[in-house]
């Protein structure tokens, strides 16, 4: 119709969808669009934004009569919950209308949040300062922010606006506090923060996350909500603040909010209250995790390292490091993750300083070594660039030391090979070309002057003629002068030590720095020849030592040429692991491949096959292998592992064969493992369902439960099985027996034929340890493996191994499948028979309930038997006691007084025991149960919730309350 066509065109524009969703909607056909339009029309907005805003403003009327306010405040939490749901689920236009300039919904929410928690801040401030009634106005004066001026403040959005100390109108201060206390006792603060979080989520979705963060009071009021007594609210606040901290500019806003928190709450140091709550709320793990996460983010999300250290030290001063040491043994994995994250990101300034000093020393040492290497290269080039210059290696006399004119030269005591390696010891390496002139100098030292500015320096004088062998040998002339006119010192060879020696971190002088110093006159090599350095090495060698080797052995090893490395086709570490795996087989490469082709499980062990599965060639490895074969390169150049991979990859259907072989090897053990588990499930389920005695016992339990609860909660037609555990929780008036003891006594006296009901129940403990889902999954896996084996046999029907396996195990597989189906059906029917849901109740939860009940029943029988013996013994004692008293002297008045005193003490202890408060975990309806009939646990710790008696649904209540 025309109306339908009109709506198809106009309605999508009024849905306020984002551009990407609008584009997706335009691609739908008309039928799909019409379905969406009908769905949206069925969803009607409950209230407009103005309705919620008017309600909240009415609660902010601090001058209202207290009784009238109490009646109106009863619905405030529900209004906030509906508002939170609307902010999360309504279309975007609704939220925009709520936040527009006319409604100013964000301001109203912040106003209400400040009003709801002002009494908490005021009471805390009064308690901390001990202020009398006359000073309460001053304390209240500091407890809130002036939200009435926030929207019109000229400093809106600035940091100064966030530090405004807000004052209430003193004329309404008492009424405002009274009304605020009424609101603070409910969940209004928590739900109000949920509303703000929904607005922040909307802001992020809309691409504008500045509305909440730019509000001069919103983040401050959220931070002040940490004073709320509800740990759940504190955790929500910290999660929200941590999220704000990660937004651009949010870190500064959070710190400013905690500065405001410090001023309002009178802290001496920032984050003081936060650390106090962190230490005191150690029983609430969720809050501790949120607190540790917030500390992590606020400290370690800063780019400035100095500021980060400052924040870290701020928490250290508040005792965070010591408290984290105490939390090392916490059992909460989430808390341990947050603590470890904080410790991993801690800056240890002392350690960083040490690392810096070590790094500088190493860099200086590297620089010195590089300069020494450069000098050695220059000297070596000098000797080989001028053939007329006498080489020290050809002279039988050691060359003289560089002299300092006019002092005579000091001869070296070192062998001439210290300058240039002799040809008799090792071959000299190929010579590099002559070095170019050094920058900044006109002549390269220590060679003769090179042409500069078109001039050529004369060559050095020829060497003098050689003397006869029996005559004195004159010393060679000194080396040519350096650019600055000094002589070059002799080159010192590095000393090869027997052991690894530590590094002596000295600051060494460079060769061109010792001219004119005392070091030019020293000869350390002579000293080393005079000393026994073996003892020095033994005394100062490092702890980490390899095998001690002599210097000749080191030289010999260095002179050996490395064997040519073979070509590697697969990755190095993968090749090493493959080599280790192949050694476990004890067969050749051809033997392994042949055994795989014929499914020979006698030659290849199952463990080896499972290891070999990891080395099935990948696509990349197959590509490399095909390329190598295409180039027709010899296989001898490859390593053994690569040769194996080539032959391994040529096995047809390699992956299928390997899977089948592991399946054949594992089949027997897997069947032997699964069958007993399925049988235990079947036997336990059928015995439970068939036991008439168990049904009668449950009937007795139901009768007692209804007798206890029906006047308060109405009669129940059944109960959940976990209610059997609660039989041990209810104590008698004298605290001597539990409800289970009484029921067992009744069964022994009235229904004696039921006492041996446990004999009807079989394999409960074995079935309690079975994960039925895992067993059925293993059965399905075996079935897939059997089908894969059958398909492979159809391709390779000449395989005797596959033929024999299928012939022997097909019936076994069919029986296993039938048992799996029987176990599943028997278990599901039994669970449903006892009023439980088989989808949410696995055998590991269902059967242990009966195991615990049977054990508790037997223990109660033993207790009753013991009590009967004690009662019999006491009766015998009472019979004999009068005759003994008649024989003895009459009791003295002192003895009677002492007996009365002991009875009085015992009675007082009993009353004190009954009045001891119960520690419990908060649940819906738990407070009302405590007021009417406070139960008490003696066996388990607090927080365990007992079972409820109802008509198919479980109520949340305290243990022991039937």
Three-state DSSP class for residue 944: coil
Highest average pLDDT, of 23-27, 265-269, 718-722, 774-778, comes from 774-778
Contact between residue 899 and residue 928 where contact means Cβ atoms under 8 Å apart: no
pLDDT given for residue 455 in this prediction: 39
* Confidence band for 860, pLDDT divided at 50, 70 and 90: very high
593 and 486 share one domain: no
pLDDT given for residue 585 in this prediction: 81
* Confidence band for 762, pLDDT divided at 50, 70 and 90: very high
Give the single-character DSSP code of 400. B
87 and 169 share one domain: yes
pLDDT tens digit sequence for 933-943: 333 333 343 33
In a domain, residue 163? The reply is yes
Contact between residue 342 and residue 311 where contact means Cβ atoms under 8 Å apart: no
Cβ contacts of residue 685 below 8 Å, gap of 6+?
767, 823, 826, 827, 829, 830
Asked if residue 853 has pLDDT above 90, the reply is: yes
Mean pLDDT, range 933-955, rounded to an integer: 36
Domain end, chosen from 211, 239, 267, is at 267
Q: Which residue has the higher pLDDT, 492 or 641?
A: 641
pLDDT tens digit sequence for 571-595: 888 888 888 888 888 888 888 898 8
Q: Which residue has the higher pLDDT, 685 or 164?
A: 685
Q: Which residue has the higher pLDDT, 825 or 74?
A: 825
Distance CA 860, CA 594 (A): 67
In Å, what is the CA distance from 518 to each residue of 505, 514, 754? 21, 8, 109
In a domain, residue 288? The reply is no
pLDDT tens digit sequence for 510-537: 777 777 676 677 777 777 777 777 877 7
Q: Is 700 exposed, middle or buried (0-12, 13-18, 19+ CB in 10 A)?
A: middle
* Confidence band for 192, pLDDT divided at 50, 70 and 90: confident
Please give the tally of structural domains in the chain.
3
644 and 533 share one domain: no
Mean pLDDT, range 369-384, rounded to an integer: 82
pLDDT given for residue 822 in this prediction: 95
Is the sign of the CA dihedral 365, 367, 373, 375 positive or negative? negative
Distance CA 272, CA 432 (A): 71
In a domain, residue 832? The reply is no
- Long-range contacts at 594-598 (CB < 8 A, ≥ 24 apart): 596/651, 596/654, 596/657, 596/658, 596/661, 597/651, 597/657, 598/799, 598/801
In a domain, residue 206? The reply is yes
pLDDT given for residue 168 in this prediction: 41
pLDDT tens digit sequence for 863-922: 999 998 888 888 888 787 655 444 444 445 555 555 555 655 555 444 444 333 333 333
647 and 502 share one domain: no
In Å, what is the CA distance from 461 to each residue of 390, 450, 644, 809, 891? 11, 16, 69, 101, 137
Give the single-character DSSP code of 429. P
Domain end, chosen from 267, 290, 322, is at 267
Which of 380, 369, 402, 377 is CA-nearest to residue 515? Answer: 402
153 and 228 share one domain: yes
Q: Is 150 exposed, middle or buried (0-12, 13-18, 19+ CB in 10 A)?
A: buried
Asked if residue 661 has pLDDT above 80, the reply is: yes
pLDDT given for residue 406 in this prediction: 43
Query: Cα(first)–Cα(last) distance of the chain, in Å?
Result: 63
Distance CA 804, CA 550 (A): 65
99 and 209 share one domain: yes
pLDDT tens digit sequence for 255-292: 999 999 888 888 899 998 888 888 887 778 888 899 99
535 and 579 share one domain: no
97 and 161 share one domain: yes
Residue 584's CATH number = 1.20.58
Which of 948, 955, 960, 954 is CA-nearest to residue 918? Answer: 960
Contact between residue 926 and residue 956 where contact means Cβ atoms under 8 Å apart: yes
Average the pLDDT over each of 427-431, 880-884, 925-929 and give the range with the smallest value. 925-929
104 and 189 share one domain: yes
* Confidence band for 665, pLDDT divided at 50, 70 and 90: confident
Q: What average pLDDT does the structure give for the chain?
A: 72
Contact between residue 741 and residue 865 where contact means Cβ atoms under 8 Å apart: no
Domain end, chosen from 252, 267, 282, is at 267
221 and 91 share one domain: yes
645 and 505 share one domain: no
Contact between residue 199 and residue 99 where contact means Cβ atoms under 8 Å apart: yes
Average the pLDDT over each of 111-125, 306-320, 913-927 and give the range with the smallest value. 913-927
Highest average pLDDT, of 150-154, 368-372, 499-503, comes from 368-372
Cis check: omega of the bond before 406, within 30 degrees of 0: yes
pLDDT given for residue 941 in this prediction: 38
In a domain, residue 816? The reply is no
Q: Radius of gyration (Cα) for the chain, nearest Å?
A: 46
Asked if residue 166 has pLDDT above 80, the reply is: no
Which of 497, 505, 500 is CA-nearest to residue 541? Answer: 500
* Confidence band for 179, pLDDT divided at 50, 70 and 90: low
498 and 579 share one domain: no
pLDDT given for residue 92 in this prediction: 77
Range of the domain at 500: 413-423+432-450+477-544
b/e for 394-412, b at 16 or more Cβ within 10 A?
eeeebbbbbebeeeeeeeb
Q: Is 332 left (phi over 0), alpha (psi -120 to 50) or beta?
A: beta
Contact between residue 737 and residue 731 where contact means Cβ atoms under 8 Å apart: yes
pLDDT given for residue 213 in this prediction: 77
In a domain, residue 167? The reply is yes
Q: Which helix (H) or strand (E) holds 339?
A: helix 333-344
Q: Which helix (H) or strand (E) holds 97?
A: helix 92-99
Mean pLDDT, range 777-806, rounded to an integer: 88
pLDDT given for residue 72 in this prediction: 58
Contact between residue 801 and residue 664 where contact means Cβ atoms under 8 Å apart: yes
In a domain, residue 105? The reply is yes
pLDDT given for residue 545 in this prediction: 64
pLDDT given for residue 598 in this prediction: 86
b/e for 594-625, b at 16 or more Cβ within 10 A?
ebbeebebeebeeebbebbeebbbeeebeebb
pLDDT tens digit sequence for 236-262: 999 889 888 888 888 889 999 999 988
Cis check: omega of the bond before 446, within 30 degrees of 0: yes
Contact between residue 190 and residue 80 where contact means Cβ atoms under 8 Å apart: no
pLDDT given for residue 1 in this prediction: 61
pLDDT given for residue 766 in this prediction: 93
Asked if residue 389 has pLDDT above 60, the reply is: no
Which of 435, 455, 453 is CA-nearest to residue 445? Answer: 435
Mean pLDDT, range 126-132, rounded to an integer: 47
Q: For the chain, how are helix, strand and coil distributed in percent, rounded to 5?
A: 65, 0, 35
Which of 284, 61, 54 is CA-nearest to residue 182? Answer: 61
Mean pLDDT, range 70-91, rounded to an integer: 76
- What are phi and psi for residue 42, nearest 5 degrees? -70, -25
In a domain, residue 23? The reply is no
DSSP labels for 194-238? HHHHHHHHHHHHTT-TTHHHHSTTHHHHHHHGGG-S-HHHHHHHH
| Helices assigned H by DSSP within 737-771 | 739-750, 764-768
Q: Which residue has the higher pLDDT, 705 or 14?
A: 705
- What are phi and psi for residue 455, nearest 5 degrees? -110, 155
């Amino acid at each position: 119709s025309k109306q339908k066509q009109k709506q198809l065109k106009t309605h999508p524009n009024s849905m306020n969808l984002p551009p990407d969703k609008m584009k997706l909607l335009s691609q739908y056909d008309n039928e799909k669009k019409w379905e969406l339009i009908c769905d949206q029309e069925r969803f009607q907005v409950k209230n407009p934004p103005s309705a919620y805003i008017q309600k909240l403003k009415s609660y902010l009327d601090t001058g209202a009569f207290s009784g009238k306010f109490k009646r109106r405040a009863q619905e405030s939490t529900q209004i906030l919950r509906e508002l939170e749901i609307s902010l999360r689920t309504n279309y975007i236009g609704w939220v925009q209308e709520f936040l527009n300039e006319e409604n100013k919904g964000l301001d109203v929410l912040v106003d209400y949040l400040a009003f709801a928690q002002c009494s908490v801040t005021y009471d805390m401030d009064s308690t901390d300062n001990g202020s009398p009634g006359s000073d309460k106005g001053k304390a209240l004066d500091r407890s809130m922010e002036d939200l009435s001026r926030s929207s019109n403040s000229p400093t809106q959005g600035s940091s100064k606006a966030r530090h405004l100390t807000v004052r209430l109108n003193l004329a309404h201060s008492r009424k405002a506090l009274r009304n605020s206390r009424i609101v603070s006792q409910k969940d209004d603060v928590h739900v109000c923060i949920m509303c703000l979080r929904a607005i922040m989520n909307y802001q992020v979705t809309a691409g504008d996350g500045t509305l909440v963060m730019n509000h001069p009071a919103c983040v401050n009021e959220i931070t002040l909500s940490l004073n709320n007594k509800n740990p759940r609210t504190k955790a929500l606040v910290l999660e929200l603040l941590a999220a704000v901290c990660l937004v651009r500019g949010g870190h500064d806003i959070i710190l400013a909010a905690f500065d405001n928190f410090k001023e309002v709450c009178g802290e001496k140091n920032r984050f003081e209250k936060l650390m106090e709550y962190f230490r005191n709320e150690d029983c609430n793990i969720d809050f501790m995790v949120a607190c540790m996460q917030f500390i992590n983010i606020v400290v370690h999300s800063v780019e400035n390292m100095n500021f980060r250290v400052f924040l870290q030290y701020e928490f250290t001063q508040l005792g965070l490091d010591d408290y984290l040491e105490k939390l090392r043994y916490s059992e909460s994995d989430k808390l341990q993750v947050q603590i470890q994250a904080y410790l991993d990101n801690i800056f240890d300034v002392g350690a960083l300083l040490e690392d810096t000093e070590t790094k500088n020393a190493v860099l200086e040492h590297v620089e010195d070594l590089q300069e020494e290497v450069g000098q050695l290269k220059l000297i070596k080039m000098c000797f080989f660039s001028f053939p007329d210059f006498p080489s020290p290696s050809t002279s039988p006399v050691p060359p003289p030391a560089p002299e300092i004119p006019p002092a005579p030269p000091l001869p070296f005591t070192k062998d001439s090979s210290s300058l240039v390696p002799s040809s008799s010891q090792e071959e000299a390496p190929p010579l590099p070309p002559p070095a170019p002139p050094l920058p900044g100098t006109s002549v390269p030292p220590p060679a003769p002057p090179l042409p500069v500015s078109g001039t050529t320096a004369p060559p050095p004088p020829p060497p003098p003629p050689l003397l006869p062998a029996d005559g004195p040998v004159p010393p060679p002339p000194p080396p040519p002068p350096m650019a600055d006119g000094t002589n070059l010192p002799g080159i010192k060879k590095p000393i090869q030590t027997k052991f690894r020696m530590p590094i002596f971190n000295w600051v060494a002088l460079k060769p061109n720095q010792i001219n004119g110093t005392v070091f030019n006159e020293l000869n350390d090599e002579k000293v080393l020849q005079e000393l026994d350095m073996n003892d020095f090495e033994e005394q100062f060698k490092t702890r980490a030592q390899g095998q001690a080797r002599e210097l000749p052995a080191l030289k010999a090893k260095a002179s050996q040429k490395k064997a040519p490395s073979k070509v590697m086709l697969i990755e190095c570490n993968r090749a090493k692991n493959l080599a280790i795996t192949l050694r476990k087989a004890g067969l050749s490469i051809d033997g392994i491949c042949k055994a795989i082709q014929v499914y020979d499980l006698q030659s290849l062990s199952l463990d080896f096959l499972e290891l070999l599965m990891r080395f099935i060639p990948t696509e990349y490895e197959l590509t490399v292998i095909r390329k190598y074969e295409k180039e027709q390169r010899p296989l001898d150049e490859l390593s053994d592992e690569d040769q194996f991979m080539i032959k391994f990859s040529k096995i047809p259907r390699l992956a299928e064969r390997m899977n089948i072989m592991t399946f054949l090897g594992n089949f027997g053990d897997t069947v032997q493992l699964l069958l007993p588990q399925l049988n235990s499930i079947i036997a336990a389920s059928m015995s439970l369902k068939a036991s008439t005695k168990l049904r009668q016992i449950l009937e007795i339990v139901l009768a007692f439960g209804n007798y206890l609860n029906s006047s308060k909660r109405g009669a129940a037609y059944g109960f959940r099985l976990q209610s059997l555990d609660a039989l041990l929780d209810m104590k008698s008036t004298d605290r001597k027996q539990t409800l289970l003891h009484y029921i067992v006594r009744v069964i022994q006296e009235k229904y004696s034929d039921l006492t041996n009901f446990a004999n009807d129940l079989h394999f409960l403990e074995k079935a309690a340890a079975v994960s039925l889902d895992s067993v059925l999954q293993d059965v399905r896996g075996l079935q897939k493996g059997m089908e894969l084996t059958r398909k492979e046999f159809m391709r390779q029907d000449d395989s005797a191994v596959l033929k024999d396996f299928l012939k022997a195990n097909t019936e076994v597989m069919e029986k296993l499948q039938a048992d799996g189906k029987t176990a599943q059906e028997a278990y599901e029917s039994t669970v449903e028979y006892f009023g439980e849901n088989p989808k949410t109740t696995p055998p590991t939860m269902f059967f242990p309930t009966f195991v615990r009940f049977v054990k508790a029943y037997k223990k109660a029988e033993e207790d009753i038997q013991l009590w009967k013996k004690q009662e019999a013994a006491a009766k015998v004692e009472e019979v004999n006691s009068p005759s003994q008293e008649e024989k003895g002297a009459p009791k003295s008045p002192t003895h009677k007084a002492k007996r009365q005193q002991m009875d009085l003490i015992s009675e007082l202890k009993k009353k004190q025991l009954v009045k001891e408060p119960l520690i419990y975990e908060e649940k819906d309806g738990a407070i009302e149960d405590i007021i009417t009939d406070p139960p008490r646990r003696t066996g388990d710790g607090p927080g365990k919730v007992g079972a409820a008696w109802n008509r198919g649904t479980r109520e949340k209540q305290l243990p022991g309350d039937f």
